[in-house]
Structure 1
Amino acid sequence: MRRAKLWHSLQTAGYTDIDFVGTQSDGGGCNPGYSYDFDHEGHGGFSATGIAANNQLPPWLSTARPDVVLMHLGTNDMWGGYIPLADKLNAFTKLIGQMRAQNAAMKIIVAQIIPISASACSTCPADVVALNNALPSWASGLGTSQSPIVLADLWTGYDAIADNVDGIHPNDTGFRKMAEAWYPVLAKVLGGSTPPTTTPPTTSPTTAPPAGTCTATYRVASQWADGFQGEVTVSNGSSSVSSGWTATFTFVNGQKVSQAWNATVTQPGATVTARNADWNGRVAAGGTATFGFLASSSGTNTTPATTCVLTTG
């Protein structure tokens, strides 16, 4: 499901020439309600150390021939706490070498992996944190200008109990969070240019809900020297299903949105207006919808007050 959601976010944002590749296919089995590319290289139950030791990656690479690899590995190396961190990182390093042997200009995105609950594996939470904490320096030491390694933080904001069905495997909320964490990093790796945007709706909502039925929560998901990733969650506090929503906020430090996903975003000046995508305007009573964006900043990044309006009927 996370691949379907990621694919849909890319398509919605204008990345329509992307081809997911791999020797595996889910055949559309996740049935998200929209079309997506079924190909992938996910192998349930495989470990990073096992893939590296058995040289399983090279034939997969030669068949799929990717230009960009998204790598969420390490979960199955956690069980029992008996595999040293150094062995996991050595396995990662070997896999990177095999990727570059197939394509010297391979772009590689490595996940700081999602958490595992202590109820599923008592030693795993601390080992996941240890791996994720080690990855920045590992990636920095191994990345090159021709074949960069960048990290996607799938751990922060992910709840090992609420976002997993069994403390290990994601539920639908977990899949959504994973896709949302992958997207901005992948978009940046794909070229850093702003993808084509769709024209926002020109008609105004015909039915306004009672005041106070919509609330919007703004947060900064990650931040760097000259920019940041933001996220806004729109909550339907009414007793009716919405047919659409609009969120609005005004920056006070000159921040400028460069791209967005899961919403159509416009910013003619300091004020940002986000309208639902064609597939996520329907929000059940008590439900939420979330969109994200990348924006520039010049140091100060004051959190803006955010409001929203629901359309019903």
Structure 2
Amino acid sequence: MCVGDSMTIGGAGDFTWRYRLWHHLRRSGAEHTEFVGPRSVLHEGSQEYADPAFPAAARAHLAGWGEGWLHLSEVVGDAVREHRPDTLLISLGLIDLGFYTGAEQTAANARRFLDEARAARPEIRAVLLPVIPNVRADTDVLFAAECARFNGLLAELVAELTTERSPLVLTGRPAGYTLEHDTHDGTHPSESGEHRLAAAFADALHAAWSFGAPYAVPALPALAQPSARAA
């Protein structure tokens, strides 16, 4: 089950990193992988995926525009109980730090999220992506510090909570990821960014559990950036 904020749910016309990962897994010996979750739409309820052939059954997720650990910790237990994922692929934290909670409270909400998921399915495993600071961190030193602080706390949380029964894996920053090339507005992934996010999860799944295969990120041209990027 893919879990995340606007970077995960995507908007009308996006492929999404979920799509990239699903296709990669199907090509790498994990063709029976199912994506599950209570939602399937893009931002504002759109079904306009860039590839209309993306099967409806593979679009399932638990992601929301403007939602973070704070919000999804309230619903993950029910989602896990109903849809029975064996693995959570989580990209959360940027929206929390940007609008709702500081690093310490965000880490506490992440702990609550994992506790709720495990209460619903004690053997669940998870791959977690650290926060990728967006363009706001270029000029807001306090925000940049909060992102760094949270990522340190998240690493500590993963080390503390991982167990043999319910292992947790923290990825690194996606290899080669830059805001200039891999986002279209300083936050949300461009086509190359979708591939790099998918690769972070695919490589972690393969390294931790020999699931699927390493992800070969294609060489793509950089997008022209707007003059004023979104924070």
Which bracket does the TM-score occupy, shorter chain normalised? Answer: 0.7 to 0.9
Match of 2:132 in 1: 114
1:7 and 2:22 matched: yes
Asked if structure 2 preserves the Cα contact closer than 8 Å seen for 1:120 and 1:166, the reply is no
Distance 1:68 1:98 in 2: 14
For residues 238-269 of structure 1, the C-alpha deviation after alignment (integer angstroms, 9 at most, x for no partner) is xxxxxxxxxxxxxxxxxxxxx54449xxxxxx
Q: Please name the residue that 1:294 is paired with.
A: none
What does residue 51 of structure 1 align with?
72
Counterpart contact for 1:118–1:124, Cα < 8 Å: yes
Match in the other structure for 2:164: 145
Match of 1:39 among 57, 60, 69: 60
Inter-CA distance 143–2: structure 2 relative to 1 (3 Å threshold): same
Does the Cα contact within 8 Å between 2:175 and 2:196 map onto a contact in 1?
no
Check whether the contact 1:115–1:155 (CA below 8 A) recurs between aligned residues. no
2:170 alignment partner, SS class = strand
- In structure 1, the partner of 2:39 is 24
**1:146 is paired with a residue of what secondary structure?**
coil
Report if the CA contact (8 A) 1:117-1:124 is conserved.
no
Q: 2:123 is paired with a residue of what secondary structure?
A: coil
Tell me, in whole angstroms, the C-alpha distance in 2 between the residues paired with 1:35 and 1:20. Answer: 12
Distance 1:34 1:287 in 2: 24
- Paired residue secondary structure (1:153): coil
Match of 1:192 among 210, 213, 217: 210
Match of 2:86 among 59, 63, 67: 67
Which of 72, 90, 96 is the aligned partner of 2:114?
A: 96
Which protein has the bigger helix share?
2
| Counterpart contact for 1:72–1:110, Cα < 8 Å | yes
Shift of 1:156: 5.2
Q: 8 Å contact 1:85–1:130 — kept in the other structure?
A: yes
Q: Report the CA distance shift for 1:121/1:6 in structure 2 as closer, same or farther (over 3 A).
A: farther
The structure with more strand, counted as a fraction of residues: 1
Higher relative contact order (Cα pairs below 8 Å, separated by 6+ residues): 2
- Preserved CA contact (<8 Å) 2:96 2:102: no
Paired residue secondary structure (2:49): coil
Cα separation, partners in 2 of 1:157 and 1:133, compared to 1, 3 Å: farther
- AA aligned to 1:51 is L
Whether the 8 Å CA contact 2:81–2:121 is kept in 1: the answer is no
Deviating runs (4+, > 6 A) in structure 1? none
Q: TM-score when scaled to structure 2?
A: 0.75
What is aligned with 1:172? 191
TM-score using structure 1 length? 0.57
Q: Secondary structure at the match of 1:129?
A: helix
> For structure 2, which runs of at least 5 residues remain unmatched after alignment?
1-15, 223-231
Question: Is residue 154 of structure 2 the alignment partner of residue 135 of structure 1?
Answer: yes
Question: How far apart are residue 64 of structure 1 and its match?
Answer: 1.7
| 8 Å Cα contact 2:104-2:153 kept in structure 1 | no
